[in-house]
Amino acid sequence: MTIAIIAHDGKKADMVAFIKDHTELFQKKHIQLIATGTTGSHLEKAGLEVQKMESGPMGGDAQIASRRSAELTPKPGGRQDRYGHLFPRSAG
């Protein structure tokens, strides 16, 4: 699972503190972090591993949204239920 971290300038410190307080849970659940550039830089400075996109004003939030949209696009051989949930093609 991947969680996107996007924070306004006045909330970046609070977001970093929240992530640090829950690092053990993220590691236990194998949760990866992706963030806009500046927020990601704050997380890295705090010793956290994060995949950084561009900063928000440079389109980082749009990059994250685009990645999510691509994940939800049905792949050839995959199937989708009436609620939009995707199911990968079975391996067999």
- Cα Rg of the chain (Å, integer): 16
Closest CA to 17 of 38, 37, 47: 47
Question: Is 14 annotated as catalytic?
Answer: no
How many CB atoms neighbour CB 30 within 10 A? 8
Which residue of the set 9, 14, 21, 61 is catalytic?
61
Q: How many CB atoms lie within 10 A of CB 91?
A: 4
Among all residues, which ones are annotated catalytic?
A: 61
